[in-house]
A and B are shown apart, each in its own frame.
Chain A
């Protein structure tokens, strides 16, 4: 038999940070009640995130807040830290609120060693919690999968950059990004 580890709520997870059981230096995220140690970020991964940050800044300006490797709260037991999150503008830059699904326009996950985990665990979790659009970037094979139309069972539309060369954002259809800019 498989023994079960204790699961935690978002409130308990925050309390651990409040009392110093977890610190700001801990690279962890809460996924379905489990506190997961995030894998070390490789150079290619880091560069891709930096490039995306610049691309989104240039193309979107003040139309969105770009959040890099910061927490978002999906529900009562999941608080992941996506690589890039595009958030609806908010005067206080989310100083008084952890972003929740209704604030989120796009999540980008960059995967090198964690591709299967991202695809099989995190993408369904984003769908279940109504995240409108997710891009999963596979840095090893240089392709992007675009997920749209979330429901409880998963995303209903899944396309890869092999089919579409110019990516556009669901919420900003006039903005296009070519895959060559990302890799």
Chain B
């Protein structure tokens, strides 16, 4: 038999931070009640996040808040830290509220070693909690999977794109991004 580890709520998770059981230096996220140690970020992963960090504000300006590796609260027992989250503008930059699904326009996850976990655990969790759009970037295969139309049973629209494709965020159809802009060296 498989023994069960104790699961925690978002409130309990925050309390751990309040009393110093978890600290700001802990790279953890709460996924379905489990406190998961996030894997170390490789150079390629970091570079893609850096490219998006610079690219997205250029293309979107003040129409969104670009949030990098910060927590979002999906429900009572999940508070992940996506690589990139596009949030609806808010005067206080979410100083008084952890972003929840209705604030979120797009989540981008960059995966190298964690592709299976991201695809099998986090994407369905985002769908279940009504995240409108997710981009899952596979650094090893230089590809991007586009997830849209969330339902409790998963995303109903899934498209695989490679570096020859371009795409527009659902919320900003007038903005176009080439997949190869995320991979730098890939373009000739």
Contacts and interface: CB of A to CB of B under 8 A. Distances in A.
B and A form one assembly: yes
A8 B20 CA distance: 12
Interface stretch (A35-43, A53-61, A66-74, A134-142): A35-43
Contact of B16 (A21, A26, A28, A36): A21
Going nearest first, the 9 A-B pairs with the smallest beta carbon separation are: A35-B6, A6-B35, A37-B4, A4-B37, A21-B12, A12-B21, A19-B19, A3-B36, A36-B3
B28 A6 contact: yes
A32 to B, nearest CB: 11
B6 A3 contact: no
Given A3-B117, A19-B19, A114 B3 contact: yes
Interface string A10-41: 00100110011110001010000011110100
A11 to B, nearest CB: 9
19 contacts: A3-B114, A5-B5, A5-B34, A5-B35, A6-B37, A8-B21, A15-B19, A19-B19, A21-B8, A21-B12, A21-B15, A21-B16, A22-B6, A26-B6, A36-B3, A36-B4, A37-B3, A37-B5, A117-B1
Contacts of B3: 36-37, 39, 114, 117
Interface residues of B, number: 24
Given A6-B36, A6-B37, A19-B19, A35 B5 contact: yes
A120 B153 CA distance: 38
B111 to A, nearest CB: 11
A6 B28 CA distance: 7
A71 B106 CA distance: 47
Nearest to A5: B34
A1 interface: yes
B37 A36 contact: no
Contacts of B26: 6
Given A4-B37, A12-B21, A37 B6 contact: yes
A100 interface: no
Interface of A: 1, 3-6, 8, 12, 15-16, 19-22, 26, 28, 34-37, 39, 113-114, 116-117
A3 B35 CA distance: 10
Contacts of A16: 16, 21
Nearest to A115: B1
Interface string B19-43: 1111000101000001111010000
A150 B160 CA distance: 56
Nearest to B28: A6
A5 B16 CA distance: 15
B113 interface: yes
Contacts of A35: 5-6
Nearest to A27: B6
Contacts of A19: 15, 19
B116 interface: yes
Contacts of B39: 1, 3
A28 B4 CA distance: 10
Interface string B58-70: 0000000000000
A1 B19 contact: no
B21 to A, nearest CB: 5
A24 to B, nearest CB: 14
